Amino acid sequence: MSSNIVAVGLSNNLAVDVIIIMFIYIEKVLTKHATFVRERKMKNKLVVAAVGVIVVAASLVLEGCECRTVQFIFGDSLSDVGNNKYLSKSLAQASLPWYGIDFGNGLPNGRFSNGRTVADIIGDQMGLPRPPPFLDPSLTEDDILHNGLNYASGGGGILNDTGTYFIQRFSLYKQIELFEGTQELIREKIGKEEADKFFKEARYVVALGSNDFINNYLMPVYRDSWTYNDDTFIQYLIQTLRAQLTALHALGARQLMVFGLGPMGCIPLQRVLSSSASGGCQQRTNTLALSFNKAAAKLMDDLGKQLANSSFRFGDAYDVVSDVISNPNKYGFENSDSPCCSFGRIRPALTCLPASRLCKDRSKYVFWDEYHPTDSANQLIANELINKFGFLRLNQSSSSPSPSPSPAN
């Protein structure tokens, strides 16, 4: 084991204390035995040599991995923070105005919202740094050690076939494959022992599944739509998810949360496609979401018992989101059935475009575009999960900002 790796476990302050103690000890021992001038000269030479050794040791300690707790996020467009903008052929993009208008400098950043994601907000609350997108070409191993990584990809799903008409996207299987590659890089950087510790102490979020219904099973062009019925398709999804989560555990994931599905039959897109004359929610789609959540919750409970040293939890905010949609005024919203960013009366526009019109007050809308919630709605969802699970603050400080949405005039 190299000196770098031996020193990794020490904090910078502790390392400095150890170095000072070493220096004082050497000074006292050498002074005690230096009774002659010749010996004093030898002592001085030894002190200089000792200082050199200590300086080298200090540099090794200070350059070691601090190994603070970070996040690794797997998901779809609800958690994507920029991976798809590096997929040049992907049709699932959030790289045009007005995406990101209430985040940082107000320019598109790859998030499919006007502001933050639910994972952003929960991570901020826990003092965790916001993990950058995996495909960011400027990333280094040190960036990963300090911030973690986000593999989420708009259009991705639990199944490999989900979202194929987006052309490019990362399925959960692909995201896990990319995570394996990340582990190899970190092992080369800090060694296997410290890398294993780093990944076991990290927090993991898996947030996807809606595309497996909306952009797969519920679309006649997909084979799954006529291969399965509602019950057998959910069984297929859960069986696949079980294998994926078990694989993540084998790769070191010990603290993991799976986000449940919301009432996806009530997103603006589904309302437009509804057979209801009033443009109401699609009840079958909502029933599928509830059935998936029930099965996924049981899966997480089972895995938490079966997999060693694991804390696998299921984050379900379906009820509160459903109540927000049914009673928006109760939560400070004014609109819960149409997008803030839309292309006039042409709907569904599917995405927010530079020529789109924005609502007057983004904080009063539940939905940003045809698919995705606003920053304000994401804040409410995150608060529900934070209150439900009582997330503790893990890091005392975080470099991640927490922007708040500013109303449009």
137-178 pLDDT per residue, tens: 999 999 999 999 999 999 999 999 999 999 999 999 999 999
Residues annotated as catalytic are: 77, 369, 372
DSSP character at residue 99: T
Q: What share of residues in the chain are helix, strand, coil (percent, to 5)?
A: 50, 10, 40
* Cis bond upstream, residue 98 (ω within 30): yes
d(CA 364, CA 267) in angstroms, rounded, equals 16
The string of pLDDT tens digits covering residues 278-312 is: 779 999 999 999 999 999 999 999 999 999 999 99
pLDDT of residue 108: 97
pLDDT digits (tens, 9 = 90+) for 94-127: 999 999 999 999 999 999 999 999 999 999 999 9
When the pLDDT of each residue in the chain is averaged and rounded to a whole number, the result is 86
Query: Would you say 139 and 132 are in contact if contact means Cβ atoms under 8 Å apart?
Result: yes
Q: Closest Cα partner for 213 from 307, 289, 320, 101?
A: 289
Q: Are 281 and 337 in contact (CB under 8 A)?
A: no
pTM reported for the whole predicted model:
0.83
Whether the CA torsion 178, 183, 188, 189 is positive or negative: it is positive
User: Residue 53 and residue 292: Cα distance in Å, rounded?
Assistant: 60
Residues 131 and 140: their CA atoms lie apart, in Å, by 13
